[in-house]
Structure 1
Amino acid sequence: MKKVVLVTGANSGIGLALCERLLSQDSEGLQLCLACRNMQRAQAARSALLASHPAAHVHLLQLDTSSVSSVIIAAQEIKLRYDKLDYLYLNAGIMPNPQFDVKAFFRGLVSSKIITMFATGEGILTQKDGVTPDGLQDVFATNVFGHFLLIRELEPVLCHADRTSQLVWTSSSNAHRSAFNLEDIQHQRGNQPYSSSKYASDLLSLALNTQYNKQGLYSSVICPGFVMTNLTYGILPAFPAFLWTLLMPIFWLIRMFTNTFTLTPSNGAEALVWLFGQKPESLDPFAKYHSLTSGLGNNYAQPRKMDIDLKTSDLLFEKLLQLESEMRSQLKEKQKEVHHPI
Structure 2
Amino acid sequence: MTMATYKQIESLMGTGPPAGAKQMQVMRWASKNPPKDPNASFSGKNVLITGSNTGIGLQAAIKFAALDAAKVILAVRSPAKGEEAKQKIIAATKRESAAVIVMQLDMSSFESVKTFAVQIQAQVDRLDVAVLNAGIAPPKYATEKTGWESALQVNVLSTALLAILLVPMLKDTAAKAGRPSQLTITGSFACQYVQPDELKLSPGEKLLEKMTSPEHFNVEKSYGQIKLLTQYVMKGLVDDYSYDVNGQVDVAIDVACPGYCSTDLGRDFPWYIALPTKLMHLYCARTAEEGSRSLVSGTLLGNAGHGKFWTNDVFTDPGIMVTSDEGKKLQRQAWKEISDICKQKMG
TM-score, structure 1 normalization = 0.73
Structure 2 segments unaligned to the other structure (5+ residues): 1-42, 245-249
Q: Distance in 1 between matches of 2:107 and 2:70?
A: 24
Preserved CA contact (<8 Å) 2:252 2:306:
no
Separation of aligned partners in 1, 2:82 and 2:195:
34
Aligned residues: CA RMSD: 2.5
Aligned mate of 1:282, from 299, 304, 316: 304
Which residue of the partner structure matches residue 224 of structure 1? 258
Displacement of 1:277: 2.9
Percent identity reads 25
SS in 2 for 1:231: coil
- Within 2, Cα distance between the matches of 1:82 and 1:312? 38
SS of 1:14's equivalent in the other structure is helix
SS at match of 2:184: strand
- Find the counterpart in structure 2 of residue 155 from structure 1: 167
Match of 1:83 among 109, 121, 125: 125
Alignment coverage as a number of residue pairs: 275
Distance 1:203 1:314 in 2: 8
Which amino acid letter does the alignment assign opposite residue 181 of structure 2? Answer: S
Summarize the alignment of residues 1-342 of structure 1 with structure 2, pairs less than 5 Å apart. 2-24=44-66, 26-27=67-68, 29-56=69-96, 57-97=99-139, 128-160=140-172, 161=175, 162-175=178-191, 176-178=194-196, 179-180=198-199, 183-185=206-208, 187-189=211-213, 190-192=216-218, 193-215=222-244, 216-237=250-271, 251-252=281-282, 254=283, 261-278=284-301, 280-283=302-305, 285=307, 287-291=308-312, 301-307=313-319, 308-309=322-323, 310-328=328-346
Gaps of 5+ in 1: 98-127, 255-260, 292-300, 330-342
1:124: which partner in 2?
Answer: none
Q: Compare relative contact order (CA 8 Å, sep 6+) and give the higher one, 1 or 2.
A: 2
**Partners of 1:205 and 1:262 in 2: CA distance:** 26
Structure 2 counterpart SS, 1:6? strand
Q: Do 1:129 and 1:139's aligned partners in 2 also have CA atoms closer than 8 Å? A: no
Residue 177 of structure 1: how far off its partner (Å)? 4.9
Deviations 1:201-240 (A, max 9, x none): 1111112111223131121112221111111444454678
Structure 1 contact 82–157 (Cα < 8 Å) conserved: no
Distance 1:92-1:251 versus aligned 2 partners, 3 A rule: closer
- The 1:74/1:222 distance shift into structure 2, 3 A limit, reads same
Higher strand share: 1
Following superposition, the deviation at residue 244 of structure 1 comes to 7.9
**Inter-partner Cα distance in structure 1 for 2:91 and 2:183:** 28
Secondary structure at 2:190's aligned position in 1? coil
Q: Which has the larger radius of gyration?
A: 1
2:314 is paired with a residue whose SS is strand
The TM-score, its normalising length taken from structure 2, stands at 0.72
Confirm or deny: 8 A CA contact 2:51 2:57 kept in the other structure.
Answer: yes
Partner amino acid, structure 2, of 1:324: C
**CA–CA distance in 1 between the matches of 2:89 and 2:271?**
29
